[in-house]
Structure 1
Amino acid sequence: MNNYVVCTKINPSVSLIPCRISQKISRFFSLLVALGFAVAANVSLAQDGLPSTDQDSTATYPATYFADFDPHSVSDMLDRIPGINVARGGPGGGGGGPGSSRGSNRRGLGAGGDQVLINGRRIAGKENEGNDQLSRIPASQVEYIEIIRGTSGDLDVRGGGQVINIVMLDAESSSTIAYELNADRSWDGTYTPGVRVSLSGQGGALDYFVTGEREPQYQLNRSSEHSVFPDGSPNDRLQKETTQEASPLTLVGNFGYEFSERDLVHLNLQWSEDNQDTELNRIIVDDKFENPVLSLQFEDLPSDSETWEVGGDYEHIFSNGSRFKTLFVVNEKDDLFVRERYDVDSSDRTKTLFLSSSELTKERIVRTSYTFDVFDTQSLEVGVERAQTILDTSLQLGLLTGDEISDRFGGLSPVTDANGAVEEMRYEYFAVHNWQLNNRMSLESTLLFEDSTIKQSGDISQSRDFDFVRPKIDYRFDITPSLQFRTTIEKDVSQLSFGDYTTSAETNRGSDDDRNQLEGNPDLEQEKSWRYEANLEYRLPNDSGVINTNLFYHDLEDVIEKVDVSTEDDVLSANGNIGDGERYGLKIDGSLRLGFLGQPNMLVTTSLELEDSEVTDPFTGMKRRLSRGGRGEFNIGLRHDIPSRNMNWGFSIRNHFDGNNITYDIDKNEEYEGSNSYFSWVEIQGWGGLTYRFEARDEFVRCRSRDRFENRSVGDGGLRELEKSCWDTGTVLALKVRGTF
């Protein structure tokens, strides 16, 4: 067995982080702010083309700003901008739970998106959004980049803290081919190659971007676990080794055609395939006997996933400046997961478990809006979105019980045969009023009405109707062109996860060996919240840095966590509503160029997030944090560009705070120790005008403590077992060779 160091637990009743750490972090950020203000005026950058900030607080970075760095892609360009982590991080702080309406897993399009625009326009897609294109678009095609800090009726996305707008070069005819060859080396010596090729350009009124990529994915996970009974006597020990191999293939095409100065159409296509082969070897030592008993197990866990998506939009600009726009998205995702477990005796294998889970998800979305000026300083956008989502699921569980067998259940005896279908028809009616109060203040008000029907068929048949009103206010005040205050008040309503309605497989690669399937809950209600956020951002003069602070408070209603759905024979839980709660915290981001140390091309980036929450546990009745609520994290990174040597290097370190990061369930609590990870690189331009990049990344050893209980819906349940496990995925080295022609 491997011996891992166990970090000391922190009492949940104490403050967010230990006092000494808090003082050190406070001193660090105080020093950062002081240095920034003291030296900003004296900093001069090594490159030409300084960014400009207009009266709307939009920072513009021309292509000449990045010339000395010779970036390969748009992502490389953004990495050189101080404070870009604020813009790319999205609005506000605090994560969403199972009921979050944000992120790529949301149904429908909504007004938000991922806050990345291409030529001022949003890419109509879910899997194929603007942020997904940043590492694919060649830097040579970019004219300038805007960081939009204000609000406007002309923006294609709403509700973000900041918006990134990538403006492409306008030419009669041009094209660029960019390519990347890469290879990863895992800690067991396994090499996995990958390739990416993209073609981008324009010809007359047509602009296009086509890419194909096959990225290597290989992971070797070694873990150990030991278990004891409440009296301290030994139970068992486990060692596991899991290998996962995949080479996902993705094809993307984005096309735009400008019929006239007032009519523009886009078509976006994406297809991807991800087939993973996972194998798990398990050694179990039963310590309950005087002479420990050794047993071996093997698991085969293949999974197949295929996704396609078609999206597009049409925009017409009227002579008075009003805009009509329609977007559509049609997509489909087909997932299949199989888990087969064998008891191993010498060279013989006996299958003891078969689990098969299939999910087919379809989505059809249309969104139409009309934007017009009410007065010179006020605009109004009105529109409607229609979204249909369909999920078909099937799950088969077979065990070695000695009863009649079936080929559908892997040659074992049927235990569970669950089938279900869920369909949602949702309409979203919205109005967005943007008011430029004066040249320094803006107020954007949103009123959204959502009307939906969710139908379920299969093992359970029912239909439920929902309707919600979701208001939002976004106020921004440019105290100076460099100092901005932002505040938002928003009513958010979650989107129910269709996976919570039906029985599904435990697909987390056997993280809990005692659980094979997850129960569904057809009576689940949406989680609601009022979100209050305040943000203060200061951009240091001469592009020498950015300091950003964010305070957030979320008043939660109908929180979604595990509830009791036990039967007479089994202790079971499923996602359900456990009552009201709250989440609050603070996030500070800082970026600083070290020009005062004679290193204007050295950029230090830091972030600190402190978070706390409270909810009533449905099993014990005690106040506690939200499941996996955590305490926060501290991250630091350094980037050093050396144009004279045509190279750059850097690193980033992420550190999640220890203490009370717990997942609560009816028969167990799982506490995760603070995770740490690092990423480093060295990049140099060399032979053939190519860029060579060396990377190293590691997530270090991670550990989890699990306390197992009897049924806690009856009395205290009784503690029956304590487990401690640690796992390590090792260091991964990578080489990337990039070029364009």
Structure 2
Amino acid sequence: MISGLLIKINPCKKHMVLKVLAFFCLFINTAFAAQTTTTTNDASIVTYEKQFFELYAPVTLIDMLQRVPGAPEILNASRQRSGGGGQNQERGFGSGGDQILIDGKRLAGKSNNINDTLSRISANSVEKIELIRGAAGGLDVQSQGLVINILLSEGAAKSTTFWNITSETKQGNSPGLEFLLSHSGSKNKLDYVFSAERASNKSFNTEKNQFYDTSNLKTGDRTIGTKFLQKSLNFNSNLTYNFEDGAILRLNGLFETGNQNFDQDRVRTGDDASNLLWSNKEDQGEWEFGGDYTKNLGKIGQFKAVFVANRGKDDQSVNRSQDINTTPFIYTVERTIEIKKEKILRASISKTLNTSQTIEFGGEAAFNSFNKSFDSKDRDLAGDPYVTVAVDNVKIKENRYEIFTNHTFNISNSLVLQSSLTTEFSQIIADNILPDLTISRRNTNFTYIKPRINIRYDVTPRNQIRATIEKKVSQLNFNNFVTRYDTRNEEFKYGNTNIRPEQIWEFLTAYEHRFANDGGSLEIEGFFRNYTDKIVRTDFTEYVDLGFASIGREAFFALPPNTSIRSYIEDTGSGFISKSGNVGKASSYGFNIKSSLRLGLVGLTDAVLSAKYTFEKSKIIDQFTRLERSFSRLSDHIWDLNYRHDLTNLGLSYGGRVSFSSDAANHDIRYYQPYNPQANVSVFAEYNIFDGIKVRIDAKQLTQKRGTSSRYNYSDHIRINSLSSSEKRQTTVPRELEISIQGTF
């Protein structure tokens, strides 16, 4: 069985997007020239003036960005990117990648999402939008690819109120409602934005399982129906004050509260028949306060400071009941409480050395705390007392300090070299508070030196070559430190407080061609990543020999098969157990092809087709089978197509998005789970009813399929190769219709 654990890839999918790109490259619009293109000593910049967007009658800043080739992809990526604390997220404010800036600065926040901020800014407040490609000095970000810089109008006296009402209906559910009200304006040297939003939504999905024995004979079926109800209320604010001496202070705040409940009916027939109800109630609250300050210090240079402070709490209660159709009773109760806090301060001074060189140096300090407790109790009969089966209580403190230097050298008008060196000193103190209130402490110090070199060469004004070499360190996901119950696989995932951050050496090279007269662009990027301390599921089993003495893993598997040893490990030892942990080496390589094309030449004036294809081949040694495989949950091929057509004479726009990926698999100590994701298809249409008022209709999840998967379960350890059962799973979701009306006054 192990030798057959290979992911099957449909070869037809590999060439689909490449054929689409090749076809549409023949139809580039060369007659569209409403924007200006400039090349400075610092970067290649495409500028879209305010007049460019007047034809489209945009209501918000998001509406404007949707008309800019390349911008929708960045917006989609920003929506998918999790906030601080997620695994594989880079540490600190100084990370690279595609970013969206406002007046050359990032939003000083982690939870206060940039996309939400953009949707609350009126189009009347925007002066112009710049697309900056490649290395550039004087920005709050280092980027290998595209940076969008939004310049707001200065001193606009007119205040604007933006409103949005959204009704979201999922097939088979009553409509949910969302209300957003935002007011922006200025008074003297103060610019302000205040907003409030309320949301209430319902949803459901259905999963069908089929069970098979070791002879591949069907033994039963199960239907899992999950109903969701989510409510939230949040308030946001953004303030900007322009001092007389040219200094600028920006502040932003967020307060959010909400709850979500879901009930899951789990009905199984055949062998092991059961009728269960799992109920989950979750209360959430969060606040954040951030800001930045810039001031020109004359000959010393420009001073910049950024800070953010936030706190979030999540309180989750779970009741699991059985015999729902006869004599129901609760057999499991769980409680999870999570409190996380973060404070970050970054300060730097930027100085122009001469006409071709600038330097920035400074430091950053971050203080994180993460407290999480998990308690699960079971009972067999309604009259029995609850017995604790899993408990964990972890308190984590992380202090991180960085010093950094960034240097930008404009070697010529067409060649820019940007280099940086960051040194990090960090400490993680993780306390496991045991049931008897004793503490098991892990105290670890880390030092990382993180160099980065980026070069940009403009071969011609429309052709650019870029290359980057960078050392990265991931942000730890502290949820991996704490035990939890995995509802998908119906097992406990035990925590490990000894996880170290991943280290990645990344090598990137890219070629980009911009078609004439804003016809679009085509970019090809190759990459190679070398990982140290890659975080994966690892083997934490305590192995014994024939005399039940402790031995290593390889020594155990060198022994002749012996059921008594396996029974001893399972019954009296820790069991065959896996946890998240670090492995020595791993790598991945591949390429991205991105294109954004205007289709005016084929009669589709103001139509834009954007496409992205990613191929990534990864390599790691499986910690259970000891065979080489791809990363868990990583598809080799990912496609994303976006289309938008503006019929400006009618005030109508329509379009859609299709995204899909190839097969992938999940690996653990007791199972192997290959799965086939399904395409995600959505379409939209929007119409300007009056000047400043727009209605939009979105139809989402049109395929109604989330994907299919198989699961092969093993009695003990997958390497022993004793298959106990298998499953087939298919998940369906309801089609979703979202109608919104928005406007300004």
SS, match of residue 580 in structure 1: strand
SS, match of residue 398 in structure 1: strand
Q: Could you tell me how far 1:339 is from its partner in structure 2?
A: 1.5
Query: Deviations for 1:314-368, whole angstroms, at most 9, x for unmatched residues?
Result: 2111234821111111110101122211013436321111111111001111111
Alignment partner of 1:529 out of 504, 516, 537 = 504
SS, match of residue 64 in structure 1: helix
Please state if 1:252 is matched with 2:202: no
- 1:579, 1:381 → 2: CA distance? 34
Query: Deviations for 1:553-583, whole angstroms, at most 9, x for unmatched residues?
Result: 1111222110122361533211112331111
Name the CA shift for 1:609/1:111 in 2 (closer, same or farther; >3 Å): closer
Aligned twin of 2:461: 481
Aligned twin of 2:548: none
Aligned twin of 1:32: 24
Please state if 1:61 is matched with 2:38: no
Name the CA shift for 1:575/1:610 in 2 (closer, same or farther; >3 Å): same
Name the CA shift for 1:54/1:586 in 2 (closer, same or farther; >3 Å): same
Kindly provide the amino acid, as one letter, of the partner of residue 488 in structure 1.
T
Aligned twin of 2:140: 156
The answer to whether the 8 A contact 2:130-2:149 is kept is yes
Please state if 1:44 is matched with 2:43: no
- 2:189, 2:6 → 1: CA distance? 61
Alignment partner of 2:420 out of 446, 457, 471 = 446
Name the CA shift for 1:24/1:257 in 2 (closer, same or farther; >3 Å): closer
Please state if 1:578 is matched with 2:583: yes
Q: Could you tell me how far 1:711 is from its partner in structure 2?
A: 2.8
Q: Could you tell me how far 1:62 is from its partner in structure 2?
A: 0.9
Q: Could you tell me how far 1:193 is from its partner in structure 2?
A: 0.8
* TM-score, with length taken from structure 1: 0.90
Aligned twin of 2:372: 393
- 2:375, 2:412 → 1: CA distance? 63
What are the equivalent positions in structure 2 for 1:612-631 lying under 5 Å apart? 612-631=617-636
- 2:5, 2:488 → 1: CA distance? 26
Aligned twin of 1:276: 260
Please state if 1:519 is matched with 2:494: yes
- 1:599, 1:346 → 2: CA distance? 59
Kindly provide the amino acid, as one letter, of the partner of residue 618 in structure 2.
S
The answer to whether the 8 A contact 2:108-2:307 is kept is yes
Query: Deviations for 1:390-447, whole angstroms, at most 9, x for unmatched residues?
Result: 1111111100146997xxxxx7222223211011111011111111111011111111
Kindly provide the amino acid, as one letter, of the partner of residue 25 in structure 2.
V
Kindly provide the amino acid, as one letter, of the partner of residue 615 in structure 2.
L
- 1:415, 1:384 → 2: CA distance? 46
Aligned twin of 2:547: none
Aligned twin of 2:685: 682
* TM-score, with length taken from structure 2: 0.89
Kindly provide the amino acid, as one letter, of the partner of residue 315 in structure 1.
T
Alignment partner of 1:642 out of 644, 647, 652 = 647
Kindly provide the amino acid, as one letter, of the partner of residue 21 in structure 2.
F
Alignment partner of 1:538 out of 513, 516, 535 = 513
Q: Could you tell me how far 1:542 is from its partner in structure 2?
A: 1.1
Q: Could you tell me how far 1:451 is from its partner in structure 2?
A: 0.6
Name the CA shift for 1:363/1:107 in 2 (closer, same or farther; >3 Å): farther
Alignment partner of 2:523 out of 548, 557, 563 = 548
Q: Could you tell me how far 1:640 is from its partner in structure 2?
A: 1.0
Larger displacement relative to structure 2 (343-352 or 530-539): 343-352
- 2:134, 2:13 → 1: CA distance? 35
Please state if 1:428 is matched with 2:402: yes
Aligned twin of 2:561: none
Q: Could you tell me how far 1:684 is from its partner in structure 2?
A: 1.0
SS, match of residue 482 in structure 2: coil
Aligned twin of 1:6: none
Aligned twin of 1:7: none
- 2:690, 2:67 → 1: CA distance? 24
The answer to whether the 8 A contact 1:534-1:550 is kept is yes
Structure 1 stretches lacking a partner, 5+ long:
1-9, 288-292, 406-410
Name the CA shift for 1:381/1:475 in 2 (closer, same or farther; >3 Å): same
Please state if 1:735 is matched with 2:739: yes
Aligned twin of 1:223: 207
Aligned twin of 1:326: 305
Q: Could you tell me how far 1:693 is from its partner in structure 2?
A: 0.9
- Count of residues in Structure 1 that have an aligned counterpart in Structure 2: 701
- 1:445, 1:545 → 2: CA distance? 29
Kindly provide the amino acid, as one letter, of the partner of residue 133 in structure 1.
T
- 1:214, 1:403 → 2: CA distance? 40
Q: Could you tell me how far 1:235 is from its partner in structure 2?
A: 2.9
- 2:382, 2:735 → 1: CA distance? 46
Name the CA shift for 1:266/1:97 in 2 (closer, same or farther; >3 Å): closer
Name the CA shift for 1:164/1:252 in 2 (closer, same or farther; >3 Å): same
Name the CA shift for 1:403/1:446 in 2 (closer, same or farther; >3 Å): farther
Name the CA shift for 1:681/1:85 in 2 (closer, same or farther; >3 Å): closer
- 2:277, 2:331 → 1: CA distance? 10
SS, match of residue 524 in structure 1: coil
Alignment partner of 1:311 out of 290, 307, 314 = 290
The answer to whether the 8 A contact 2:537-2:581 is kept is yes
Name the CA shift for 1:114/1:634 in 2 (closer, same or farther; >3 Å): closer
Name the CA shift for 1:182/1:26 in 2 (closer, same or farther; >3 Å): closer
Alignment partner of 2:331 out of 347, 352, 372 = 352
Name the CA shift for 1:34/1:419 in 2 (closer, same or farther; >3 Å): same
Alignment partner of 2:164 out of 180, 196, 204 = 180
Name the CA shift for 1:260/1:150 in 2 (closer, same or farther; >3 Å): farther
Query: Deviations for 1:121-151, whole angstroms, at most 9, x for unmatched residues?
Result: 2221111243431222111111111111143
Aligned twin of 2:481: 501
Aligned twin of 2:665: 662
Q: Could you tell me how far 1:624 is from its partner in structure 2?
A: 0.5
SS, match of residue 606 in structure 2: strand
SS, match of residue 224 in structure 2: strand
Q: Could you tell me how far 1:166 is from its partner in structure 2?
A: 1.1
Name the CA shift for 1:523/1:711 in 2 (closer, same or farther; >3 Å): farther
Please state if 1:719 is matched with 2:719: no
What are the equivalent positions in structure 2 for 1:112-123 lying under 5 Å apart? 112=96, 115-123=99-107
- 1:259, 1:96 → 2: CA distance? 32
Aligned twin of 1:456: 430
SS, match of residue 134 in structure 1: helix
What are the equivalent positions in structure 2 for 1:205-216 lying under 5 Å apart? 205-216=189-200
Kindly provide the amino acid, as one letter, of the partner of residue 296 in structure 2.
I
Q: Could you tell me how far 1:486 is from its partner in structure 2?
A: 1.0
Give the share of equivalent positions with the same residue, in percent. Answer: 27
- 2:85, 2:250 → 1: CA distance? 33
Name the CA shift for 1:688/1:445 in 2 (closer, same or farther; >3 Å): closer
Larger displacement relative to structure 2 (25-34 or 648-657): 25-34
Name the CA shift for 1:286/1:90 in 2 (closer, same or farther; >3 Å): closer
Query: Deviations for 1:146-183, whole angstroms, at most 9, x for unmatched residues?
Result: 11114333111223522111111123522100100110
Aligned twin of 2:249: 265
Aligned twin of 1:5: none
- 1:236, 1:98 → 2: CA distance? 41
Query: Deviations for 1:4-24, whole angstroms, at most 9, x for unmatched residues?
Result: xxxxxx99488xx54444444
Aligned twin of 1:563: 538
Name the CA shift for 1:95/1:190 in 2 (closer, same or farther; >3 Å): closer
- 2:327, 2:368 → 1: CA distance? 46
The root-mean-square deviation of aligned C-alpha atoms, in Å, is: 2.6
The answer to whether the 8 A contact 1:583-1:614 is kept is yes
SS, match of residue 438 in structure 1: coil
Structure 2 stretches lacking a partner, 5+ long:
435-439, 543-572
- 1:21, 1:113 → 2: CA distance? 28
- 2:236, 2:121 → 1: CA distance? 12
- 2:362, 2:38 → 1: CA distance? 32
The answer to whether the 8 A contact 1:99-1:526 is kept is no
Aligned twin of 1:695: 698
- 1:63, 1:455 → 2: CA distance? 51
The answer to whether the 8 A contact 1:402-1:413 is kept is no
Name the CA shift for 1:442/1:113 in 2 (closer, same or farther; >3 Å): closer
